[in-house]
Structures are given as structure tokens and as C-alpha cells.
Structure 1
Amino acid sequence: MFRPKFFTLLKRSTRSSVAADITAGITVGVIALPLAMAFAIASGLPPERGLFTAIVAGFLISLFGGSRVQIGGPTGAFVVIVAGIVAEFGYSGLVWCMLLAGLLLILFGLFRLGGLIRFIPFPVTTGFTSGIALVIFSTQIKDLFGLHIETVPAEFIPKWTVYFQAMHTCTPAAAVLGIGTILIIYASRRWAPRTPAMLIAMLATTAAAALLHLDVETIGSRFGELPRMLPMPGNIPRLELAQLKDLIAPAFTVAMLGAIESLLSATVADGMIGGKHRPNTELIAQGLANLGSAFFGGIPATGAIARTAANVKSGAQSPLAGIIHAVVLALILLLFAPFAKMVPLSTLAGILVVVAWNMSEKQNFIAILKGPRSDRLVLLLTFLLTVLIDLTVAVEVGIVLSALLFIRRMSEIANVSVITDAVSGDVDAAEDPKAFALREVPAGVEVYEVEGPFFFGMADTFWNVLGKRRKDTPVLVLRIRHVPAIDATGLHNLRQLHAQCRKKKTALVFSGVAAQPYRTFKQSGFLDELGPENFCSSIDAALERARELNQKGKKHV
């Protein structure tokens, strides 16, 4: 169950693969530097907490994870959640959220829930990812333009109202640096795609601000000096039981989002390298990483899709690249932390604007809008709830709505029909040798066919049709060859039908029972109640059974 890829691939390492991993690790470490600080600041925390996360969680995810090339650390998806937790419970509350989320992720992996993540509907993941991107963008306007605002409202619409009211306080130098950062990143990616565009933009704008003595807010002016090493582990704040209960819901959100994000990232990586990750091992590693991040003063971590893709493109062969990436960040923290205080906050805001644009899922968003109406509804509702209310509510409502719409869709394709009077001339035996119209129905026998999954969503359809059957029918044949599955409600309906048939002295015969319904009938005892001889493998056998019952005048009781 828990089989980290690092230890599996360690035995296959070669000198060339190790060299490739070192090169990729250094590249991704450099790329991760500005992002780690930017995500922490956007979450309302000092920049070093993002670096602690990238180092500790990034190391643990690569060491114990189930993907060959996954890069872990702080991501944009967590910004909104972390900012909300910190605002309501403080950093101590966030630490306990990470501890609880870490334990939940480990349990998810131990109980083999990694495969279930793929059942979250695509419109839901696209909706909340696009919503998070818009929320991240909206949180960066103050620093991007250097607006002088005492307190920025947490809610989306009031926040933008305050922004528009404060636009006259814009700091031109900050706006130039922020917009310049965005332009440098896109220019670098277009003309020099192999270079670390975000780091180049950060260094260029920081140098410009320092050389020109621009009066802009920097990391140093807001947060002071960055520490040059990791803190000692284990400084866990005390928490009251009542507070712990309040943190269960946000901790579950952190765990679910971490699971979704990491497994999506691992799946994307699989497509790029032609590999296959171990989802349950990956979840356990994510849990260990979040526990480690909590002990070392970090923030929640998960698999980072953009950094993982950069890792693959840089030639990574194994999880060693992710470990090197964490070591590189630790060395940068040790050697260059004093220079980080010079980085303008508008620069980091510009980097996050690019991150928000990249994670906006614009192409998938547009594609879903062109698809079925039900998918559009789920997408837009999840998106709006993420932006205007809360990510947790958005995901819950999106999944429930998707399930309800799916049930309705299944109900629409399910069908129950009487086929006793089918005309033989309507069907060509060469096209469908099993066609019922080619059979001769004994007198006094009624045949009905059920198509589609027999579940609670089609109960009304079933009784609307079966309720119109003749009262004096000696034998009722129910053809269910196209029923792939049946649930408890469907089984209950069949038992009710059986009870009605017994009262009216009508024999009930089944034709063409598929594997799952047959197992259900057998396990529930329905097979014995009706008699195994009344479950026939084909319509011919069912009609022959009906003919026997009719001729002998036997009534099934």
C-alpha cells in the first residue's frame, strides 16, 4: 500500500539520471523561490512561512510520494482557504488545521481512497479552480498598484468597491513595477522559455527599485528581516477543545483540496512522462508533508502542477529532483535571505497575477460553457459560490448538484415498456437475432422490458408502466437484459411487484439477468423467494417457462 517511488527508483538510478535530476531540481528550486514567498504573503503571513513549506513539505512529498516527478509545496489553490483560517483563528489555528488535515490525508491513503478523487466532476474542479484564480487576482490589487488602504474587506464585492474608491491613492512606482513584472514574465516565456521567468522578473524589478531608490513597499518594510534557517521543530500552540471543533470543517477542506490538487498534478505528470503514480502512497506523503510543515512553521502544501510540469520539462527522472529542489531552497534561504527584504510587494503581486491567470482554466471554462446545460449550471454555480461565498460551500453544492443532475439524466435514459404486442415484421433477424418481435408469445402471457440502471431515480417510471398491466395475467415476464445494475430501491420495487403478483395469482418470470443484479438477488434472498427456475438466461427460456406455467395451470405463490 505505502510504496514510495523514491525507494523503488533508487535501485535503478544511473549516473546520467542523477545528473538530470540535479539539473531539474536546481531549475525548479529557482522557479519555486518567488512563488513560495508570494503565496505566503497572499495568505496574510510572512514570506518565510512559504519558504519553510517549500523546503520541508517539498522534501517529504518527494521522499515518500507515489509520483516520480511530483513537486510539492505551497500553491495558489490554498491562498483563499489559508487567508480565511488565519483571519478567523490566527496562525495557531492554521497549525492545528494542518495537523488535522495531515492526519486525514494519511487516513485517506490507508483506506485506499485515492481512486475516489477522480469521481469529482470536471465542471466542479474547473469552477472552483477558476473561482480561486479570480479571488487571488482580487487580493493582489492593493499591492499591485500600491493603494493606500487601511483595511481591505474579505468579501469580493465590497473589496472591489473599496479598490475603486481608493484608485486615486495609487503609487505610480509600485504600479510600474507590478505591471513591469507581468510583462517581463510573459516576454521571458515567449522569447526565452527555458529561463526562470518569475525569478528574472523579481530580480529585475528589485534591482530597478533599489537603483532608482523608488519609494515602494518591500518585504523588509512590511515584514522585516527573513530568517536564514529553518525554525526548530515542534513548537505546536495549545488549543482548547471548543476551538478544535471549529477547526474540523476547515481542516477537512484543506485535506480534500490537498488530495484533489496533488492527484490532479500527479495525473498530469503521468501524461507527460508516460508513467503511473500510486495515488494512496501519494496521499500518505501529502499527509506527512502537512504534518512536517506544521511542525516547522509552514503553511498547507500539496502537489504543484506548474512546478511539476517544469520539473518534467527540465528532464527530471525520479523524486530525487524534488529533493534537490528542497535543498536548493534551503541553501538560498541560508545564503541570500538578507537580500529578500529588498523585493517590492508589487513585484510579488505581479507574479501572483500571472499565477492567477495561469490557473484560471480559461480554455476548459469556455469548453464547458459550450457543452450540456447541466454542466454549465454546475460550472457557473461552483464558480460563483467560490468567489462570493466560500470554497467549501462551492465544492459541496457543486458535487451534490452534479449528482442530482446525473440521477435525472440516468432516469431519462431508463425505460420500461410493454413488448407483448411487438410486431414481428418490424425487425430483421439478421440485425438483431435476440429481438423479441421474432418470438411467439403464449396466450395469457405479458412481457415487459426494463432498460437502464434500475435505481431509485426510475421508481416512478417503473410503476407508471407496470401499474397498467392486465389484472388477469397468468404469467408476467420481466425482461431485464439491459439492466446493468440495481440498487436497494429497485430491489424493493421488484419485491413489491412479486407481492402483488402473488395476490393476483400471477407467476413472475425474469429474463436475461446481468451479473450485478443476479448477485444482488442471490445475496438478498430474492432468488430463493421467487425460485431459481424463474430466472431465465434468455427470452426463449423465459417464454418456454411461461408456456409451462400456463399449460399446467400452475400459479406461482
Structure 2
Amino acid sequence: MSPIYGLHFHNIKGDLFGGLTAAVVALPLALAFGVSSGAGAIAGLYGAVFVGLFAALFGGTPSQVSGPTGPMTVVMASVFTQFVALDPVNGAYYAFTVVMMGGLLQTLFGLLRLGKYVTLVPFPVISGFMTGIGIIIILLELGPMFGYPSSSNTVEALEQIPHYITDANLAALLLGSVTLGIVLFCPNKIGDVIPPTLLALVVGTLIYQLFHGETDLAVIGHIPTGMPSLMLPTFSLSILSDMLFAALMLAVLGSIDSLLTSLVADNMTKVQHDSDRELIGQGIGNMVAGLFGGLPGAGATMRTVVNIKAGGRTPLSGGFHALILIIILLGAAPLAEDIPHAVLAGILIKVGLDIIDWRFLSRLHRAPLFVAALMLLVLGLTVMVNLVTAVFVGMFIANVVTVKGLADHQLDSIRVIDSHAGKDEQLTPRERALLAETRGRVILYQFDGPVSYAASKGLAAKLQGRRPHDALLMDFTRVPLIDVSTALAIEDMIVEAQTLGRDVHMIGLNPIVKDILQRFRVLDLIPPNCCHHTREAGLEMAYAMVFRDELS
């Protein structure tokens, strides 16, 4: 494994322009995310620098640019508020320890090679929680937009809306509206030269500077310069379970967010990313970010797209992006101290609007009832409860319904064939003749495809209502694999048949199926001469055993 995935030096110019463009886009967002999280604008810059740098160095998506994102900031805001409220002295240390723990979990996900499973989240679940995140960002930024502090949670934000509207700070609302209008309606010709978010930040701040003597608005305030001090891990046994849950929430969301962005990058560059390596890189980035008091981050879709469009193709672009932000951090951070919160709110409301899955929402009425209900359930849980609960509940329900559908399909594909098989095309003429000669005293139980645990309980039901018979043949010729539940269900069928005095035969066991049945001693119930390689051999033996008295 090479030290840096996808690194080469044949595209330095493109990577430099890509990194520069991504940094210009990242700067206003990092400041806004930092303020929105409650940890301060500087935490957003630290997160953009450290997650961006280390995810580029150790990640598995060459052209991806990482840093604080809307979804991760929503979780971090909740984490920061929760632990600072619990302990005003050490709360910030607990919060950034959670960021480090989340990064460690992401790294473990990668080392355990779980990357390929992360993006298997069903689409209605992804759509629901992404839309929910967008709504959360908008709700939390309504306060600053109307000239008030940001709410600590969505319930409080919803309750405060009437107050915001009736008692709005008109100067803040006007400034936020101008900012939002710029990022929403900036012409493409201008946007191609200067990113709309940066333009909105500059214009909004200049307007405030021209008229700030006539109004009093909340601004970012003092931003430290230079490199950050260490935020050493701090634990408390009394809140360890809360820290672990919050870390899991960051790790799961960060992994999904990053790997979905990786898929976007793959589609644009035609280069396949390494999911496990990407999780390791994101995990390392978040651990370092937490250690230096930075926001957690993930692969940032907009910054990645901008990077690729500007020519970025290798991890050098992500490294250049971080380096440019470091230069800004070391010398130019004080220039951002007078940026009003209302301006940042306008930018973040646009971020929230972009996160909402409008494409699916516009067609929600056309979706099957279950799909629409699942999406809305996940959306509601995301907004009113938390992201991990929303994703886990959504995945559980989606998987249960999917497994039930597969089980029904598997059971429908199982056929019970007797002497009335007629011209069954799946049987040879000799096999049909043998079944006909048994006069219903032999039943062929034919499996078709894999049989999972979900279908195992319905296996015996297939035989219900059949007239009495003397021999049961189970044909596994077209079964590539079974699981333990299926093996035990087959054991129950064998025991029941033998209790009724019936012969049981097994046909066409491949090595995988045979191994499972042998491990659980199911084959010990069957005499060796009742295991057959072909259906014809099994039918001939069953016929001979059933009619042995007449044949003797």
C-alpha cells in the first residue's frame, strides 16, 4: 500500500488551482460552521485545516476535499452544547474528546473493512436524514438571521419562530436577506470568477462596516492567530456513555457523508476510490482536529466538486487547500472578526437548502407508500430526535421489509412436486416417469436459489395439505448456500417425516450446503445411501425403497 493513495506529480498545476479554489470556497463555510457549532469561528478553521490535510494524506479518494460540513456541524453543535451545559469548565474538552473518539471509531471502521457496507444505506433513509439535516440547519440559523442568538435545538427554534417574526431586528434580517440573495441568485458568470459564498461574505461584511454605526449586530469577535494549543483527551466516567454515543453518531454520519462524496468524485474523475482507506484517512483527520480543538469534518461535496472542476485530481489538491487555509489562519484571521452573524446565517441557510433532497421531495407523491412513509419517518426522527436514531430505525425497518420480501420470493420459488407433475419442463422424461410410477407416494421438494433464515420458518408449510406419502426427496441441486436457521428448519422437517415413518432423501448437495448440514449433524439423520448426486438417482432409490415389498 503506497503511503498516499493516488499521489503523482503530473498534475501539479491543476492540483494547485483546485486546492486554491477549494480553499476560497471553504473559508466562509469554515467560519460559519465554527460559529454555528458554538465552538467559535477558529474551531471551523482548525477543522478545515486538519481534517482537510490528513484526510488527503491518508484517505482513499484522491480528488476529495474534506473539512467541516453541514451534517457534522449539526451534530457537533449538539455535542458542544450538551457537554458545556453539563460542565462549563471541562465541557469543551469533553466535546473535542468526543471528536477524537469519533475519529478513532472511523479508523476502526476502515481497519475492519466496513467501508463497502456504509453506503448500503437505503435511499429513502439517506434522503430522509439529509433533508432533516438541511431543515435543522435552517431552523438553527433563523435566530441569527432575525438578530437573535442561535437556538440550542430544533424544538426551541420552532417555538421561537413567532417571536423572531414579531420582534425581528430589521438590520440583521436585511443583512441576512442580502447575503442569502447573493448566494441564491449570483449569476453564473460572476460565480465562475468568485465563489458566491465568498462574494456574499465580503459584500455583507462591507455593508455592515458602512452602516454599523447605526445598528448593533452580533459579530464573530476575536479570532486567535497562530497555531492552536492541544486539547488533551478528557474523560469522566459519569458521562462516558453519553460521550460514546455522541462519538458513534459523529463516526457513522462522517463515514456516510464522506463515502457518498467519494462516489460523486468517482463519477466525475472516473477513478475508483478505496472506501476502507477513506475511512481511515477521515478518522485520522478527525482525531487530529479534535486534538487541536477543531470541528469534525467529512468529505465535502461542494468543495470536492469545485476542486475537480478547477483541475484537482490528486491528494496534492487537498493538501494545497489546507496549506492555503493555514496561511490565512496564521496572518489574516483578524480580518474576519467583524463579520456579522446574520451574514453567516444567510450563507448557512443556503447550505441547508442545498442539503435538502428537493429532487426526491418533488416526486414523493409518486413513490410507493412504504418508501414515502419511511423517508418522512427518518426525516422526523432526524429533526426531532437525533441522526443516529433516525438512521438506525430507518435501516432496521427497511431491512426487515426487504428481508420479508426476499423470504416471500424464496418461498414462492420452492416447488413441491408429486406424481401429477405432468410435463414439468424442469424434470427429465425419466424423472417424470418415475414420479408417475410412485402414484403419489413420493414427494419431491425442489429448492431454487439461496434459502435464508427469513424463509426457513415457511419451509414446512409448503408440505401442509399434501396427501399422505411415504418418501420425501429434498432437491438442493440449484441451492448455492443456506444459513444455520435453514439447516435447523430442514432438520425439523427430517425429524417430523421420519416420525411419521417416511423415508427422507437429499439430492445435489454442493460443498457449502453440505458443510453447514454436517456441522450441525443434520446429515447424521440420513442414511448414506439416501444422499444422491442427481435427482434421477434419488427418485430411483426412493421408488425402490417405497415399493421394495412389491418388487421383492
The alignment's TM-score, normalised by the length of structure 2, stands at 0.90
Whether 1:246 aligns to 2:245 is no
Aligned partner of 1:200 in structure 2 is: 199
Contact 1:3/1:281, CA 8 A, preserved across alignment: no
CA distance in 2, matches of 1:455, 1:106: 32
Residues 298-313 of structure 1 mapped to structure 2, 5 A cutoff: 298-313=294-309
Shift, 1:324, TM fit: 0.3
CA distance in 2, matches of 1:286, 1:122: 23
Say which SS state the counterpart of residue 7 (structure 2) adopts.
helix
Q: From the superposition, tell whether residues 402 and 385 of structure 1 become closer, same or farther in structure 2 (CA, over 3 Å).
A: same
Q: From the superposition, tell whether residues 216 and 288 of structure 1 become closer, same or farther in structure 2 (CA, over 3 Å).
A: farther
CA distance in 2, matches of 1:514, 1:359: 49
Shift, 1:366, TM fit: 4.2
Say which SS state the counterpart of residue 45 (structure 1) adopts.
coil
Aligned partner of 2:313 in structure 1 is: 317
191-200 vs 257-266, which deviates more? 191-200
Say which SS state the counterpart of residue 332 (structure 2) adopts.
helix
Structure 1 letter corresponding to 2:57:
L
Contact 1:411/1:457, CA 8 A, preserved across alignment: yes
Shift, 1:223, TM fit: 4.3
Structure 2 letter corresponding to 1:457:
A
CA distance in 2, matches of 1:100, 1:115: 22
Q: Which digits, 9 at most, give the CA deviation of each residue in 1:403-423, with x for residues without a partner?
A: 211122123222244321545
Structure 2: give runs of 5+ residues left out of the alignment.
85-91
Aligned partner of 1:371 in structure 2 is: 367
Shift, 1:438, TM fit: 5.1
Whether 1:124 aligns to 2:125 is yes
Residues 372-411 of structure 1 mapped to structure 2, 5 A cutoff: 372-411=368-407
Structure 1 letter corresponding to 2:94:
G
Residues 46-445 of structure 1 mapped to structure 2, 5 A cutoff: 46-90=40-84, 91-147=92-148, 152=151, 154-156=153-155, 158-188=156-186, 190-194=188-192, 195-213=194-212, 215=214, 221-232=218-229, 234-236=230-232, 238-367=234-363, 370-413=366-409, 414-415=411-412, 416-425=414-423, 429=425, 440-441=434-435, 442-443=437-438, 444-445=441-442
Structure 2 letter corresponding to 1:455:
S
CA distance in 2, matches of 1:325, 1:183: 27
CA distance in 2, matches of 1:176, 1:3: 52
Aligned partner of 1:41 in structure 2 is: 35
Contact 1:424/1:437, CA 8 A, preserved across alignment: no
Shift, 1:104, TM fit: 1.2
Contact 2:518/2:524, CA 8 A, preserved across alignment: yes
243-252 vs 414-423, which deviates more? 414-423
Say which SS state the counterpart of residue 227 (structure 2) adopts.
coil
Say which SS state the counterpart of residue 119 (structure 1) adopts.
coil
Aligned partner of 2:88 in structure 1 is: none
Structure 2 letter corresponding to 1:351:
I
Shift, 1:543, TM fit: 2.0
CA distance in 1, matches of 2:187, 2:485: 57
Structure 2 letter corresponding to 1:27:
T
CA distance in 2, matches of 1:519, 1:374: 39
CA distance in 2, matches of 1:481, 1:206: 73
Q: Which digits, 9 at most, give the CA deviation of each residue in 1:73-114, with x for residues without a partner?
A: 111011221111111112222111112112211211111111
Say which SS state the counterpart of residue 9 (structure 1) adopts.
coil
243-252 vs 164-173, which deviates more? 164-173
Contact 1:123/1:368, CA 8 A, preserved across alignment: no
Contact 2:447/2:479, CA 8 A, preserved across alignment: yes
Q: Which digits, 9 at most, give the CA deviation of each residue in 1:361-397, with x for residues without a partner?
A: 2213445653333322321111111111221211121
Structure 2 letter corresponding to 1:161:
E
CA distance in 2, matches of 1:337, 1:400: 45
Aligned partner of 2:7 in structure 1 is: 9
CA distance in 2, matches of 1:243, 1:197: 42
CA distance in 2, matches of 1:223, 1:548: 90
Contact 1:49/1:299, CA 8 A, preserved across alignment: yes
Contact 2:140/2:154, CA 8 A, preserved across alignment: no
Whether 1:476 aligns to 2:472 is yes
Q: From the superposition, tell whether residues 115 and 199 of structure 1 become closer, same or farther in structure 2 (CA, over 3 Å).
A: same
Tell me the C-alpha RMSD between the 2 structures: 2.6
Say which SS state the counterpart of residue 67 (structure 1) adopts.
coil
Aligned partner of 1:464 in structure 2 is: 461
Say which SS state the counterpart of residue 112 (structure 1) adopts.
coil
Shift, 1:172, TM fit: 2.1
Shift, 1:532, TM fit: 5.7
Q: Which digits, 9 at most, give the CA deviation of each residue in 1:36-77, with x for residues without a partner?
A: 111111112211100011011111111111111111111101
Structure 2 letter corresponding to 1:196:
P
Say which SS state the counterpart of residue 509 (structure 1) adopts.
strand
Shift, 1:439, TM fit: 5.2
Contact 2:507/2:532, CA 8 A, preserved across alignment: yes
CA distance in 2, matches of 1:369, 1:487: 39
Say which SS state the counterpart of residue 461 (structure 1) adopts.
coil
CA distance in 1, matches of 2:504, 2:199: 77
234-243 vs 319-328, which deviates more? 234-243
Contact 2:61/2:278, CA 8 A, preserved across alignment: yes
Identity %: 28
Shift, 1:353, TM fit: 1.0
The alignment's TM-score, normalised by the length of structure 1, stands at 0.89
Structure 1: give runs of 5+ residues left out of the alignment.
none
Shift, 1:456, TM fit: 3.4
Q: From the superposition, tell whether residues 552 and 460 of structure 1 become closer, same or farther in structure 2 (CA, over 3 Å).
A: same
459-468 vs 61-70, which deviates more? 459-468
Q: Which digits, 9 at most, give the CA deviation of each residue in 1:263-283, with x for residues without a partner?
A: 111121111111111111111
28-37 vs 499-508, which deviates more? 499-508
Whether 1:32 aligns to 2:26 is yes
